[in-house]
Chain A
Amino acid sequence: MLEVTGIKRGIVIDHISSGKGLKIFQKLNLDKMNTPVVLLINVSSNRLGRKDIIKIQEHIDVDLTMLGLIDQNITVNIIEDEKIVEKVKINIPKKVIGLFTCKNPRCITTIDECAKPEFTLIPNGKIQYQCSYCEELTEYKL
């Protein structure tokens, strides 16, 4: 059985839906860090059946908005002295700026860098965001 020990101080990104761990690892640029980072794939989970986990042995600013877009199951645990001192639950962000582009080819934001769209979540059950410039809906896909 594969065993990975706990970390003394840092961040654990837990309950990542199985298969999304590597993408999150890449999106957070964890391969460029100078500190130990572990990516666990297909770990047994009571809640999810299988899950991925990322352990980072350092406190970094994790982009919670981006994590919320990718996977709303995620929990971010802050670790001090090998204990969880804070649990952050991830939610689907209501507003998003700069993480994806508008899908409408006629939108001004696709050609003018001064136009930085703010996307607002539409309450229609899908993860669809309305562009603040053209009002078209864009569905975020990892």
Chain B
Amino acid sequence: MPLINRNFVDPSDFTLDELKHVVNLGLKMYDNPMKYADTCKGKILGTLFYEPSTRTRLSFESAMLRLGGTILGFSDANTTSAKKGESIADTVRVLDDYADILVMRHPREGAPKLASQYSSVPLVNAGDGGHQHPTQTLTDLTTIQYYKGAVKNLKVAFCGDLLFGRTVHSLLKTLSRFPNIEFTLISPPELRIPNHLKIDIASNFNVKILETESLEGCISTLDVLYMTRIQKERFFNEEEYLKLRDVYILDQNKLTHAKDDLLIMHPLPRVNEISYDVDNDPRSKYFDQAKLGVYARMALISLLLGVCE
């Protein structure tokens, strides 16, 4: 299934079969990484990170290095020409000559889409504001596939910041395309999913959605619990952040009512929304999720560069 020279700015850029293909290749790479160690030899990944990132940037860099490729880029917009006022279009038109594939994170929503309109090489969205995070979605799908055997017939809950949480937006919309997925959305009223997303899902997909403020009230029914951080950087108002930051904390006590095969996920970084005592619970898979993310990104890079099919 050739994905060569495609962009991946929004999960809907790929069909369901294409998403599954990336996930399956990622899992093959996870099982036998040495087989792919020279796949991207001679290729360069350019990382354009206009916003701080640890996990996503290093995950991409690790992915490219594990494929035998090399990397260049920046991780702080203040050290680039953007600081001098250079437009995204101009930056991309130069950097697409320096690298074979570009990865962009930007605080402005829609910035990677703009960049993809000017790039002559594949461009991947590594997170744009509170909008989308499609490679986290690939990571999440890979994790669900790995631990649940298939992405179907599941009760999935998202808990925390559903308004600004771009990982939630991307995954929620994408999971709506898979068969028989039911959603429970757990958040305070101020952090419910954006209206446009609710309208989009309601009008395009036949899925059940339950909105609630209580994690305790629904935890016993869930197959997957996707916890999220209340993101300080998304609030314009510190007072509002302080009011909401401790609203959901998952601990062992709450987990006593959960299913034995519950899959607990988190895109990380975590602050305090999952107690450290939960880390040793066999149902907690967020660190494995981060590990699988490297392989999901390896698969994506390989397919977009056309070095794997």
Interface residues, chain A, CB within 8 Å of chain B?
Answer: 104, 106-109, 111-115, 117, 122-124, 130-137
Cα–Cα distance between A12 and B215 once the two chains are bound (Å): 61
Which B residues lie within 8 Å of A114 (CB)?
87-89, 114, 118
For this complex, 27 residue pairs linking A to B, each with C-beta atoms less than 8 Å apart, are A106-B107, A106-B108, A106-B109, A106-B129, A107-B108, A107-B109, A107-B110, A108-B106, A108-B110, A108-B113, A108-B128, A112-B87, A114-B87, A114-B88, A114-B114, A115-B114, A122-B199, A130-B196, A132-B113, A133-B109, A133-B113, A134-B110, A134-B129, A135-B196, A136-B194, A136-B196, A137-B199
Given contacts A106-B130, A122-B199, A124-B199, contact A134 B87 (CB under 8 A): no
Q: Number of B interface residues, CB 8 Å?
A: 23
Which B residues lie within 8 Å of A112 (CB)?
87-89, 108, 111, 114
Q: How far is the CB of B107 from chain A (nearest CB, A)?
A: 7
Residue of B nearest to A135 (CB): B196
Cα–Cα distance between A96 and B281 once the two chains are bound (Å): 52
Q: How far is the CB of A114 from chain B (nearest CB, A)?
A: 4
Q: How far is the CB of B137 from chain A (nearest CB, A)?
A: 15
Inter-chain residue pair count (beta carbon < 8 A) = 63
Chain A binding surface, main DSSP class: loop
A131 CB contact (under 8 Å) in B110, B129, B130, B195:
B110
Asked if B203 lies at the interface with its beta carbon under 8 angstroms from chain A, I say yes
Given contacts A122-B199, A130-B196, A136-B194, contact A104 B109 (CB under 8 A): yes
Asked if B229 lies at the interface with its beta carbon under 8 angstroms from chain A, I say no
